């Protein structure tokens, strides 16, 4: 329910969510501090470069410590480090210049450091905007109901981050040119040409960045629409092959209630598995193989099995033995407890597996099992022992029967319990 | 499935039941099935109708479909959350997917059954929730077990953890044991089994959302996000 509401009203909620987010608050505060420090530094440079350098350092350090460093660590851990990798050399240059300014006290070096820092921040901003825009559309498409239920939707309508980034880069370029230009030797014309080229490039960046961002967003929308259409076709094809087919069969066999019930049950099971995303897994995993086995026994023995499988693991040799033992146990339950429901519960993990098959039948006294049933029991126990597993049969007259099959760490856990 | 063979002292009066489902045919079918043992006092097809009907007809048990127009069964549960004298809700759906089952129970349903349930089991479930007990089908028990199977390091809140006994009881429910047999196997009284299940239900309704997102992640429902 909250998911649907969340989708409908992104506007106000995101502002509040942002103000409540400590990371966002820290970023805003350090940004303000940096801005004030920059103003101070620019105003104070007449009083001596050292004062300005101190003011700058005061502003810069929290920005680096609180915002850039944590972000860098987080991004570099994921695969999203590109914008930062771009900005890091510029930031390193800025730091070097800052140190140089502190050492030799010339205000031009200081200003260069400021502009380099500004450019670095601009690159980070542009990169982060592009990343968010390209990632969010893909992520929305991949959402499961649970994700929609538990994650806060973040929607930005205007590329303000990229705009601010472009402004910062442009400003840095202009200031940098202003500082470096007069020092360059050579004729005034060469310098003017260089200036024009640089300003032209800056303007190009200003124009192109919003366009690129817009194009990326549009591309995402198109891909999303395409994905929806593909999904609709896929669902349609599946329903056609399965549900419609079964409905046709049901209409033709309407006179045979048993057949209709069997068809309906089989289709129901298949549809559930498909909705749970299990159809693709097929019998390649232990969970898929268990479901397939339950289905097979249900059809052969005309018994109803309620099977719940938690977790999964690849289907290996021990897993196949487990499935075979489970099939044996299910058949046994179906034959010796006719009419009673059979419950299968499985807990699977990469390190182990435990499967319980339980019926509500008459049960029996294990000590007085006739020889032919002992054979079945040996088939179950022997199969599991053959792959290093374990099988336990728990039954007493009038109390039903439960067969427990275990592999891997499930054996130790049951021994410890 | 967890039928109790009628061992519990049955209350003499027939339970007053209301059916909330947007499928007319399904309501008619359930009404016919329940006619023997229950008094069907009301029907509704939407959450708004249901809220008005429940106020007027005062049923003891409401069979509540999960997928309703305009907000689903959750909307009805929200409306009666914390209301004194609210009826017991038994969620009823064709779906047995965890993402349908668990939110309904967390929002206040005392039990969850699928629409393919046999009539005797449905009657047992109705009687159980009418008497203030939870009704966990084996599958619901399995899902709940998984919801609480968090790693050890998250032991911050007692509500996020099951006691070993509660876990054991839930595990037996997931394997299809009726209360009576669980009590025998664990050497406790059926009443104690019921109270364990009740406290599991309470924890499920009160625990922090963190655990359940963890649960969703372990099921592979949630992709890795930064």
CA–CA separation, A239 and A247 (whole Å): 11
- Pairwise CB contact (< 8 Å): B99 & A150: no
Nearest to A308 among B71, B142, B177 (CB): B142
CA distance B38 to chain A (A): 25
**pLDDT greater at residue A384 or residue A142:** A384
Bridge partners (DSSP) of residue A348 are A353
Please report which residue ranges of A276-339 form alpha helices under DSSP H: 286-301, 317-336
**Given CB atoms, is B146 within the 8 Å cutoff of chain A?**
yes
Q: How confident is the model at residue A247 (pLDDT cuts 50, 70, 90)?
A: confident
**Given CB atoms, is B185 within the 8 Å cutoff of chain A?**
no
Digit-coded pLDDT (tens) for B5-26:
444 444 457 899 999 998 888 8
Q: Which pLDDT score is estimated for A71?
A: 63
Judged against a pLDDT cut of 80, whether residue B61 lies above it is answered with yes
Judged against a pLDDT cut of 60, whether residue B216 lies above it is answered with no
- Pairwise CB contact (< 8 Å): A343 & B71: no
Buried b (16+ CB within 10 A) or exposed e, B170-187: bbbbbbbbbbbbbbebbe
What one-character-per-residue DSSP string does B27-55 give?
Answer: HHHHHHHHTTT-EEEEEESSHHHHHHHHH
- Pairwise CB contact (< 8 Å): A78 & B213: no
Query: Nearest Cα to A68, choosing from A141, A124, A6?
Result: A124
**Given CB atoms, is A356 within the 8 Å cutoff of chain B?**
yes
Q: What is the pTM of this model?
A: 0.56
Digit-coded pLDDT (tens) for B165-180:
999 999 999 998 988 8
CA distance A311 to chain B (A): 7
Nearest to A146 among B99, B142, B181 (CB): B99
What one-character-per-residue DSSP string does A149-218 give?
Answer: HHS------S-HHHHHHHHHHHHHHHHHHHHHGGGS-S-HHHHHHHHHHHHHHHHHHHHHHHHHHHHHHH
The H or E element that residue A79 is part of is: none
**pLDDT greater at residue B89 or residue B72:** B89
**Given CB atoms, is B151 within the 8 Å cutoff of chain A?**
no
CA–CA separation, B34 and B15 (whole Å): 10
**Given CB atoms, is A19 within the 8 Å cutoff of chain B?**
no
Give the ipTM of the model, two decimals please: 0.77
CA–CA separation, A144 and A153 (whole Å): 14
CA distance A264 to chain B (A): 11
**Given CB atoms, is A149 within the 8 Å cutoff of chain B?**
yes
CA distance B179 to chain A (A): 13
Q: Which pLDDT score is estimated for B53?
A: 92
Nearest to A78 among B72, B75, B226 (CB): B226
Mean pLDDT across chain A? 72
Q: Which pLDDT score is estimated for A17?
A: 54
Q: Which pLDDT score is estimated for B16?
A: 92
Judged against a pLDDT cut of 70, whether residue B185 lies above it is answered with yes
CA–CA separation, A398 and A361 (whole Å): 7
Q: How confident is the model at residue A69 (pLDDT cuts 50, 70, 90)?
A: low
Buried b (16+ CB within 10 A) or exposed e, A162-185: bbebbebbbebbebbbebeeeeee
- Pairwise CB contact (< 8 Å): A144 & B225: no
Residue A335: half-sphere exposure toward Cβ, Cα within 13 Å: 9
Residues 6 or more apart whose Cβ sits within 8 Å of residue B146: A310, B98, B215, B218, B219
**Given CB atoms, is A331 within the 8 Å cutoff of chain B?**
no
- Pairwise CB contact (< 8 Å): A308 & B138: yes
Judged against a pLDDT cut of 80, whether residue A54 lies above it is answered with no
Nearest to B97 among A142, A276, A356 (CB): A276
Which residue of chain B comes nearest to A354, CA vs CA?
A: B175
**Over residues A122-131, mean pLDDT:** 74
Contacts of A356 in chain B (CB under 8 A): 175
Q: Which pLDDT score is estimated for A11?
A: 41
**Given CB atoms, is A272 within the 8 Å cutoff of chain B?**
yes
Residue B2: half-sphere exposure toward Cβ, Cα within 13 Å: 35
**Given CB atoms, is B4 within the 8 Å cutoff of chain A?**
no
CA distance A302 to chain B (A): 16
CA–CA separation, A94 and A111 (whole Å): 10
């Amino acid at each position: 329910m909250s998911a649907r509401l969340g989708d409908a009203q992104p506007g106000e909620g995101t502002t509040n969510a942002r103000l409540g987010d400590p990371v966002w608050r820290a970023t805003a505060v350090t940004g303000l501090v940096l801005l004030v420090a920059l103003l101070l530094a620019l105003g104070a440079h007449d009083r001596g470069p050292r004062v300005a350098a101190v003011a700058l350092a005061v502003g810069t350090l929290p920005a680096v410590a609180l915002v850039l460093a944590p972000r860098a660590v987080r991004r570099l851990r994921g695969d999203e480090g590109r914008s930062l990798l771009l900005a890091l050399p510029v930031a390193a240059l800025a730091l070097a210049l800052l140190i140089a300014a502190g050492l030799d006290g010339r205000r031009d070096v200081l200003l260069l450091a400021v502009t380099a820092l500004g450019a670095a921040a601009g690159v980070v901003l542009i990169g982060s905007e592009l990343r968010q825009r390209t990632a969010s559309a893909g992520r929305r498409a991949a959402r499961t109901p649970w994700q929609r239920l538990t994650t806060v939707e973040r929607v930005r309508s205007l590329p303000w981050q990229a705009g601010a980034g472009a402004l910062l880069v442009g400003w840095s370029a202009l200031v940098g040119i202003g500082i470096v230009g007069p020092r360059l030797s050579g004729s005034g014309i060469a310098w003017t040409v260089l200036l024009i080229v640089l300003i032209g490039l800056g303007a190009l960046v200003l124009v192109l960045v919003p366009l690129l961002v817009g194009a990326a967003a549009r591309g995402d929308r198109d891909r999303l629409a395409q994905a929806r259409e593909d999904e609709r076709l896929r669902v349609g094809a599946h329903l056609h092959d399965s549900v419609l087919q079964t409905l046709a069969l049901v209409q033709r066999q309407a006179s045979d209630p048993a057949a209709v019930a069997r068809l309906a049950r089989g289709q129901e099971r298949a549809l559930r598995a498909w909705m749970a995303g299990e159809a693709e897994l097929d019998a390649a995993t232990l969970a898929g193989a268990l479901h397939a086995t339950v289905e097979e026994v249900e059809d052969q023995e005309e018994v109803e099995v309620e099977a719940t499988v938690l977790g999964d693991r690849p289907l290996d040799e021990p897993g196949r033995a487990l499935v075979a033992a489970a099939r044996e146990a299910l058949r046994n339950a179906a034959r010796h407890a006719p009419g009673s429901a059979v419950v299968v519960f499985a807990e699977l993990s990469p390190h182990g597996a435990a499967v319980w098959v339980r019926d509500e039948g008459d049960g029996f006294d294990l000590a007085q099992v006739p020889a032919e049933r002992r054979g079945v029991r040996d088939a179950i126990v022997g199969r599991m022992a053959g792959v290093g597993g374990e099988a336990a049969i728990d039954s007493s007259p009038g109390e039903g029967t439960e067969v427990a099959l275990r592999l891997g760490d499930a054996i130790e856990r049951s021994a410890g319990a | 499935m967890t039928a109790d063979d009628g061992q519990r002292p049955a209350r003499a009066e027939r339970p007053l039941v209301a059916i909330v489902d947007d499928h007319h045919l399904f309501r008619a079918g359930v009404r016919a099935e329940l006619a023997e043992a229950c008094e069907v006092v009301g029907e509704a097809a939407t959450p708004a109708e249901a809220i008005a009907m429940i106020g007027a007809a005062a049923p003891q048990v409401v069979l509540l479909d999960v997928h309703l127009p305009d907000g689903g069964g959750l909307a009805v549960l929200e409306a009666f959350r914390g209301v004194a004298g609210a009826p017991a809700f038994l969620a009823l759906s064709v779906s047995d997917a965890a993402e349908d089952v668990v939110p309904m129970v967390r929002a206040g349903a005392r039990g969850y059954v699928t629409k393919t349930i046999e009539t005797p089991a449905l009657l047992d479930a109705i009687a159980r929730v009418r008497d203030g007990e939870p009704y966990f089908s084996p599958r619901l028990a399995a899902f709940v077990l998984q919801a609480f199977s968090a790693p050890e390091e998250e032991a911050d809140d007692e509500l996020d953890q099951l006691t070993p006994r509660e876990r054991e009881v839930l595990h037996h429910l997931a394997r299809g044991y009726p209360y009576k047999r669980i009590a025998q196997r664990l050497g406790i009284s059926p009443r104690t089994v019921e109270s364990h299940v009740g406290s599991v239900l309470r924890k499920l309704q009160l625990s922090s959302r963190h655990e359940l997102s963890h649960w969703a992640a372990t099921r592979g429902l949630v992709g890795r996000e930064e």
